[in-house]
Structures are given as structure tokens and as C-alpha cells.
Structure 1
Amino acid sequence: MAGAVCNNPSRGRYEPMDPTVKNWIATSNYDLRTAEAMLKAGRYLYVVFMCHLSVEKMLKGIIAHQQPETIPPKTHQLIFLAQKAQLELPEEFKDFIQHIDNVSVVTRYPDDLRKLAKEFNRAAAQRILSETRALLQWLRQCLKSEE
């Protein structure tokens, strides 16, 4: 979704980036690199898990930047975090966040590992990683003009 622009109420305000916010962003980037490493290693369930974690931490970084007096909520629900960050997500990203929220729960608590491993093959993991990269790029725009 290259043409979509972040519609963030605090965008355009210049404020120095707080070390806490920088840490959320750094750990989000670290988790994305871990997802990439897991793809290379053939650990596809962990690609999904780490992609979810990367998005979660970026959203928490945005919340921490917008609301420095509050601690981001201790939740894994990406839709809730996006709402808390007051982001107007493009429909494509709303759908993806809903999808990765649903599949992440399954990867955290697998009932049947073999069945899950078939569902999350290399192609599925690559698709989720690609969509995660696009979403993170969009989310970074929400902070870019404020750095």
C-alpha cells in the first residue's frame, strides 16, 4: 500500500524521540530480522510469531511517542493497539492485522504441530513476512516526520 499516508493526529509535530520510543522501534526491527532468520532456517511458525511481535512493538512505540505519560498496554491484540495509537489504517492493513492476530494465537498455543506446520509452509511465511514489512514501513511514516 505504497500510496497510503499515515493519518496520525500527532503527525507533523516535532518532538525529540524519547529513548523508550527508540527502544520499542529497535526491538521491533530486531524481531523483524529474527523473522527473516527464521524464514532462512525453515522455522516458519516462528516467522509468523516474530512478525506479530515486530508489529506489536512498533505499535507500542507509536503509543509511547504519542502518549509519553502512559505505558503502552500489556496486550498482544494488534487491532486494539492500532486503535489506541489512533491510527487510521488502510483497509488492506486492517485485514492483515486481523489475520496475523488470529494466526499468532494458533502459533503460540498449537493443538497439532504437524497440521500447523503444513498450514504455515514457506510460501505462507514469506507472504506474512512481506505484508509485515509493508505494514512496518507504513507505521514508520507515523513517526518519521516527528523524529
Structure 2
Amino acid sequence: MEKKEKEELQKAWLKSSKEDFQIAEDLIGMRHYQWALFLCHIAIEKALKANYIKIIDQYPPPIHKLVKLAQDCKLALTEAQINDLKEMTTFHIEARYDVIKDKLYKKATKEFTLKYFEITKKLLNYFISLI
């Protein structure tokens, strides 16, 4: 991958990640907690894909498993961060598929959502700092 293309792709992933995180915050204000959690997942996924481009020097794979993306990038993660990423991966699946959407809706309380919003903020700051 050429340097200019690599930098442009990283910037695009990061810009989109930050926008999704802002929209997640807006959705919390509107009490759309399950969709806020979904966008927290997407924001993290995009930041990880920016890291993937930087570290692996290839286009990121079309996957949504956050731990796998982080591991592919060989990022240093604590056990707590790995567990948070595992939980956040469920937000993607549970928000998208109607047969299990109710599962996310039930756990997406205000408190739960605010907790993962703060976790997302910390993880985003960490992943962005690596670029």
C-alpha cells in the first residue's frame, strides 16, 4: 500500500470513528441506548481498522470481532480490555439481527450504556494514541 493511500485510509477510518462516537453520545441523550451501544462498537471497530492499516499495511478484513482485530494488530491489551471488547462485539450482533435484538434491548439500560460509553471513550483514546 502506498504511503499516501495508507494515510488517507487511516484518516478516513478515524474520522468516521469519531463521528460514530459523537452520534452514540447523541443517541444516549435521546434514550436510544441499544443504538448508542451499536455505534460504540462501530467506533471501536473503525479505530482498530485504522490501526490495522498502520500496522499490517493492508486493507482491514471485513470482520466485526473486536478482539480478533486487536489481536491481528498485536496490540497490548489487559484482560479487562479484552473482556470489554468481547462484550462490545455482542452489541454489533444483537443490534443487527431481529431474532436476538431483544437481548440487547433488555440489557441496554441507561447505566449499562453509560458504562460502556465511558469504556469506549477510553479505548478510543488508547487506539487513536497508537496511530
State the TM-score, normalizing by the size of structure 1: 0.79
Aligned pairs (5 A) from 1:36-55: 36-55=25-44
Structure 2 residue aligned with 1:133: 121
Structure 2 residue aligned with 1:107: 95
Deviation of 1:110 after TM superposition, in Å, equals 3.6
Aligned pairs (5 A) from 1:56-75: 56-68=45-57, 70-75=58-63
Q: Which has the larger radius of gyration?
A: 1
String of CA shifts for 1:4-60, please: whole Å, max 9, x gaps. xxxxxxxxxxx8871111111111101100100110111111011000000000000
**Aligned in 2, Cα 1:114/1:94: closer, same or farther, shift over 3 Å?**
closer
Structure 1 Cα separation of the partners of residues 103 and 66 of structure 2: 25
Structure 2 residue aligned with 1:95: 83
Larger relative contact order (CA 8 Å, sep ≥ 6): 1
State the TM-score, normalizing by the size of structure 2: 0.88
Structure 1 residue aligned with 2:11: 22
The two structures, once aligned, show a CA RMSD in angstroms of: 1.9
Q: Which runs of 5+ in 2 are unaligned?
A: none
Structure 2 residue aligned with 1:12: none
Structure 2 residue aligned with 1:4: none
Deviation of 1:108 after TM superposition, in Å, equals 1.5
Which residue type is aligned with residue 111 of structure 1?
V
Checking the alignment, whether the CA contact within 8 Å between 1:32 and 1:54 is kept in structure 2 is yes
Deviation of 1:112 after TM superposition, in Å, equals 6.2
Structure 2 Cα separation of the partners of residues 62 and 90 of structure 1: 17
Structure 2 Cα separation of the partners of residues 113 and 92 of structure 1: 25
Deviation of 1:123 after TM superposition, in Å, equals 1.1
String of CA shifts for 1:48-77, please: whole Å, max 9, x gaps. 100000000000000111233x11010011
Aligned residues: 128
**Aligned in 2, Cα 1:115/1:65: closer, same or farther, shift over 3 Å?**
closer
Q: Which runs of 5+ in 1 are unaligned?
A: 1-14
Structure with the larger helix share: 2
Checking the alignment, whether the CA contact within 8 Å between 2:94 and 2:100 is kept in structure 1 is no
